[in-house]
A = this chain, B = another copy of it.
Amino acid sequence: MVKTEVTIGKLKIKNPVLVASGTFGYGDELLGTVDISKLGGIVTKSLTLKPKIGNPPPRIAETPCGMLNSIGLENIGVDKFITEKLPVLRNYDTAIIVNIAAKRVEDYCEIIKRLEDAEGVSAYEINISCPNVKEGGLEFGTNLSMTAKIVKETRKITDKTLIIKLTPNVTRISDFAKVCKEEGADAVSLINTVVGMAIDIKTRKPKIASITGGLSGPAIKPIAIAKVFEVFKNVDIPIIGIGGITTWEDAVEFMIAGAKAVQVGTANFVDPTVSLQIISGIIRYCEENEIFDVNEIVGSIVLDSPQV
Point out residues on A near B: beta carbons under 8 Å. Answer: 56, 63-66, 68, 142, 169-171, 194-199, 201, 203-206, 209-212, 215, 217-223, 225-226, 229, 244, 249, 252-253, 256-257, 285, 300-305, 307-308
* Closest B residue by C-beta to A252: B201
Are B65 and A219 touching (Cβ within 8 A)? Answer: yes
Are B195 and A56 touching (Cβ within 8 A)? Answer: no
Are B65 and A65 touching (Cβ within 8 A)? Answer: yes
**Which chain B residues lie closer than 8 Å to A66 at the CB level?**
64-65, 219, 222
**Which chain B residues lie closer than 8 Å to A68 at the CB level?**
222
Are B305 and A204 touching (Cβ within 8 A)? Answer: no
The one of B196, B201, B285 that contacts A253, using a Cβ cutoff of 8 Å: B201
**Which chain B residues lie closer than 8 Å to A253 at the CB level?**
198-199, 201
**Which chain B residues lie closer than 8 Å to A56 at the CB level?**
305
Given A211-B303, A219-B222, list of 7 further CB < 8 A pairs?
Answer: A171-B171, A196-B226, A197-B222, A198-B221, A199-B257, A211-B229, A219-B219
Are B64 and A206 touching (Cβ within 8 A)? Answer: no
* Closest B residue by C-beta to A300: B204
The 7 closest A-B pairs by CB, nearest first: A196-B222, A64-B218, A65-B65, A219-B219, A197-B226, A64-B65, A204-B302
Give complex CA distance A106, B74 in Å: 53
Give complex CA distance A7, B126 in Å: 47
Are B171 and A199 touching (Cβ within 8 A)? Answer: no
